[in-house]
Structure 1
């Protein structure tokens, strides 16, 4: 991965952890509405998305006829929070409750797994040449699958900040 992507993955994850570490478990699991996710659930969703992304990239790398697809403006799509994106069942969070440290550990572990997986790809340029269908973004080059991890996280950091304003 290029340095910018690595830096963005690192910085975004640090921002996320900063947003949640000072919360107590009650605040962390508090819901503003029955149909909305708690901050804990948002974070659990991010763990699930990262793990699912690793699997999708791995599948995409194995595909023989996975030709390069058109690049998308993933940042414009994911960072536009006026457009709601329904989470696929596979990345819907558990009800909880969760402990802050438990989620911080899960976030650390999923990021370690991602970085370890990416380090096994000898020729990173292959990521731009192969693609895989993303549930919200459609057919997406694999390098953009990596980018969408931190962009998706940035989207949810903004959501977490809004939730915090409602009860802190």
Structure 2
């Protein structure tokens, strides 16, 4: 895998864990508003997205369509938080309470699955050649599916920081 992508996956996940690591379970599961997710739900959503992305990339690799799809500016789209993106049902978080260590374990598991899966792809160039429809971004080359994982996570780290401010969590 590309070192830059690997570094971004690692750095973003490290930043996410640092944001949640010291939260109490009450802070972690509090919703600042009934129409908002708790920090725990945001993190559970990230786990679900990572797992769904693995499935989508695997499915895309099996497809016979080799036509190169248009590359999108996923950085701009995902990091622009002025534009709300509705989560598809399949990646909506659970409403139950979570404990911080439990979510960190789920995050570690999903990341290990991702890295293991990506290591099985012998010819990484195929990721640029094949594409799969993304629910929010449309048809997306498979290498950009990998990129969207850490960019999506960065988007939600900003959301977590906002939730912490709304809950008046001391840094």
Range of TM-score over shorter length:
over 0.9
* 1:132 counterpart SS class: strand
In 2: Cα distance, 1:59 partner to 1:68 partner? 16
In 2: Cα distance, 1:66 partner to 1:60 partner? 10
User: How much does 1:59 deviate?
Assistant: 0.2
Residue 65 of structure 1 aligns with which residue? 65
* 1:149 counterpart SS class: helix
Residue 100 of structure 2 aligns with which residue? 100
Residue 48 in structure 1 maps to residue 48 in structure 2: yes
Q: Which runs of 5+ in 2 are unaligned?
A: none
Q: Which runs of 5+ in 1 are unaligned?
A: none
Residue 2 of structure 2 aligns with which residue? 2
* 1:49 counterpart SS class: helix
Q: Verify the 8 A CA contact 1:40 1:98 in the aligned structure 2.
A: yes
Q: Deviations over 1:54-89 (max 9, x none)?
A: 000000000002421000000000000000000000
Q: TM-score, normalised by structure 2?
A: 0.97
Q: Verify the 8 A CA contact 1:68 1:131 in the aligned structure 2.
A: yes
User: How much does 1:96 deviate?
Assistant: 1.7
* 1:139 counterpart SS class: strand
In 2: Cα distance, 1:66 partner to 1:41 partner? 36
Q: Deviations over 1:69-117 (max 9, x none)?
A: 0000000000000000000000000002000000000000000000000
Equivalent residue pairs, number: 168
Pairing of 1:122-137 with structure 2 (within 5 A): 122-137=122-137
Residue 157 in structure 1 maps to residue 165 in structure 2: no
Q: Structure 1 segments of 4 or more deviating over 6 A?
A: none
